[in-house]
Chain A
């Protein structure tokens, strides 16, 4: 039989603190996604550039990001960079780690999306007198973003879930970190983490819903 008595009151009293943590979680996820998108775009251009060194660098980044655990990447940012005398705070390390991961996966998404756009599109742009960059910017990129939008949304949800890994490098302001700190003070593990799980679930669902509405509005024709 269960002889454990649940103390939900205590957990609900901490709800405001946890919601503050949720805001930090969302902030990290959004920032990492913005950085990740920018870097992924650069990596995609590197791969298209035809320059051996640049495309090798991009491929290396993508393969490392996709073939090692996200937690490893965060450890690398937190502990590994210390070797070069760069000491990142948990917040920055988490941000760098997740942005690195996002960039790798998004670059791969972009590559898949680019494949879906016929070469003739860019060539048509070029024959209208656009420079290669203009053709990419005005013809290829908008179509690519449309195809890549749904996978990018999934990546955003992933980014939110990945922020919970910050607690392993001593992060104590995001949702998982706040929860862990409350847990360490009261040992009401199940109650606190159950509430955290509900909050994560709601955030993930809200992001998916907003993205769907946004996509319906943006890509309606």
Chain B
């Protein structure tokens, strides 16, 4: 018979790890999305003096491994004597990382709104803000949402890397259990299953929305 020394308390420990993963993901995605929307609007609307340096800066976040970014972020916060706990550092780095991807998504969404539609709005007397709020936002959201869901899932998976800064999230929690119980395969499968259960339904929803909302059918 299958025999394991995994107890209910250990499963609770894994659940705590999963809660940490979700907490880091939630904070980073919310902050990253707000930043991403701001940057996306800047990239689309403010002239090249703003958008070119911003594009370059955000591209760095997408071309350097997240692990290196986390280590650098942690080193930087200790150089500046900020005294952040690992959770804050992780969230700040992951937020910037999310923002870099979100900017692209927002930019794509905004530029998918036909210029004529926006000009029509402006010539009806809407202000720039009203145009953004009532015309661009609803149309752009429709285009961007599936990609944004994909990004959220990506960040959830990438948040596993914060274990390097000593945060006990899902993967680190299962690693601790592996070290103690010496049953690597079984515990890792549980860990993978938890990730899968979180990720798969949302991924399906994203796929469904993409199909449902795709503009050309």
Interface residues of A (CB under 8 A from B): 2-4, 63-64, 66-72, 75-76, 79-84, 157, 161-165, 167-168, 176, 179, 189-190, 193-194, 196-197, 200-201, 204-205
Q: Is B213 an interface residue (CB 8 A)?
A: no
**18 residue pairs bridging A and B, Cβ less than 8 Å apart:** A2-B80, A3-B81, A69-B171, A72-B188, A72-B195, A83-B183, A83-B185, A83-B186, A161-B65, A163-B65, A168-B67, A176-B68, A190-B72, A190-B79, A193-B68, A197-B72, A200-B64, A200-B68
Chain B hits for A66, CB < 8 A: 203
Q: Is the CB of B199 within 8 A of A79?
A: no
Chain B interface SS verdict (over half): helix
Given contacts A197-B64, A197-B68, 17 further A-B contacts (CB under 8 A): A2-B79, A2-B80, A64-B196, A68-B157, A71-B160, A72-B192, A75-B171, A81-B185, A82-B185, A83-B184, A164-B65, A164-B67, A164-B68, A168-B67, A193-B72, A201-B60, A201-B63
Interface residues on B, range: 35 or more
Task: Specify the chain B residue showing the minimal Cβ separation from A161.
Answer: B65
Given the known inter-chain contacts A80-B184, A193-B71, please indicate yes or no for A176 contacting B195, CB distance below 8 A.
no
| Chain B min CB distance to A120 (Å) | 18
Instruction: Give the residue name and chain of the A residue nearest to B197 (CB).
Output: A67
Please indicate which of the listed interface residues B71, B74, B195 has the most CB atoms of chain A within 10 Å of its own CB: B71
Residues of B within 8 A of A167 (CB): 67
Q: Which residues on the A side are within 8 Å of B81 (C-beta)?
A: 2-3
Once bound together, how far apart are the Cα atoms of A71 and B154, in whole Å?
12
Q: In the complex the two chains form, what is the Cα distance from A151 to B178 in whole Å?
A: 36
